[in-house]
Amino acid sequence: EKTKDKMRGIQRTTTKTDLETRTNDLERRLKEKIEVMTGFADPEVRARKLQQSFAFFDLNDSGNIDYQEFFAAMTKLNFVGVQKEMEALFNRYDEDASGEIDYKEFSYSLFGIGNKPTMDVNAKNIVEKVKARIIQKDGASGIHKVARLLSRMDNDGSKSLDQDELMQGLREYGISKIPPVELQTLFNYFDRDRSGRISIDEFLRGLKTGMSYERKQLVRQAFNLLDSTGDGVVTVDDILQNYDFSYHPNVVNGSITVQQATNEMLSCFESGSSDVDGKVTWAEFLDYYKGMSMSIDDDNYFELMIRNAWHMSGGDGFAENTTCKRVLVTHSDGSEEVVEIKNDLGLNYRDINEVKRRLERQGVQDIRKVQV
């Protein structure tokens, strides 16, 4: 079974790489089509032209479009027979897995306009090299350590760094073998306004790129289990009380303790900020997992980690949840069965009546007795 899971993982990786290549090609063809349609005008004009194409399908004038509206706009631009690539392109820009994209931001970003950098090949290679060094040194905790270190370099509290501060921070962390010319390219890539300073947050987001839409959806499911009110905000206490830190990747491999993993999460949500309020938004929660995701290549392992840590039922093969409690149910006719209590995050198993109610909501009927 493990061999089959490994082979499925290899096949998924190959398929994902092929799809990414085709998606990049679709993105390139979209840019070229708009260039031709605008007579090779400047990027601002091209972006506005593409924006108009999407706005036609934005019936409520919200500035956002869902996938069906995106698909309709792309079809009108004569992109047909590439549905998987269109889905992948949409998901690439749906950074928070909300099911919608801001089409103005999408249009401007596509043509390299605005605050969000457009990743050229050279800069991307250097960013990947920096990411590799961070992962090699500290695994899933690496990006959080870099964040704390760079924040210490921010002497004036501007949440930005000049080139010397960035270089010093990376060297202090242990990234010292990247040639100066590459570090210069790295800095220039993030210094979009050529002010001589880069945003720390934007730099860290640049390192966290590449999280797949499927992983974002898993993280969203975990957040939704905590967000009982549906307002997009949970408390730090809720997270600490429910999250099983023993499934943190670096706890699993023995490089940090459960307490260290706890402190790391706290530092991400409640340190180095002027607006510490004990609350965590969906964007902050996702950002934490983007940092963790960059150190995990295996999708099956990432899914298993999320499901087990947050007691989320489901998953297939290696990725199937193993932490949701199984109980022995005795029915009125004397028959017995072992039943998994689905999504049992926060359930008090001493409260047998609540356990029974949960089982009944799952469709288990005629319960005489439950043994935990």
Contact 175, 133 (CB under 8 A): yes
pLDDT in tens, 61-117: 888 998 899 999 999 999 999 999 999 899 888 877 788 889 888 888 888 776 555
pLDDT higher than threshold 90 for residue 18: no
- CA 169 from chain centre, in angstroms, equals 25
Reported as a pLDDT band with limits 50, 70 and 90, residue 3 is low
Quote the pLDDT of residue 149: 87
- For residue 272, what pLDDT is reported? 46
pLDDT digits (tens, 9 = 90+) for 211-256: 888 899 999 999 998 888 888 889 888 888 888 888 888 899 898 8
pLDDT class of 20 with cuts at 50, 70, 90: confident
**Angstrom distance (rounded) from CA 154 to CA 169:** 10
Among 178-187, 264-273, 292-301, 354-363, which stretch is predicted with the lowest mean pLDDT? 264-273
CB distance 295 to 264 below 8 Å: no
CA distance 318 to 100: 31
Residue 189's pLDDT is 79
Q: What is the mean pLDDT of the chain?
A: 85
User: What's the pLDDT band for 283 if we cut at 50, 70, 90?
Assistant: confident
Instruction: Report the DSSP beta bridge partners of residue 281.
Output: 233
Tell me the pTM.
0.73
CA distance 372 to 79: 56
Tokens of 313: 């039922």
The tens digit of pLDDT for each residue in 304-360 reads: 999 999 999 999 999 999 999 999 999 999 999 999 999 998 888 889 999 999 999
- Cβ atoms of 58 and 70 closer than 8 Å: no
332 vs 190: CA distance, rounded Å: 67
Rounded (10°) angle between helices 103-110 and 43-55: 150
Q: What is the pLDDT of residue 92?
A: 84
Give the tens place of pLDDT for each residue, 117-171: 555 667 778 888 888 889 888 888 888 888 888 888 887 888 899 988 888 888 8
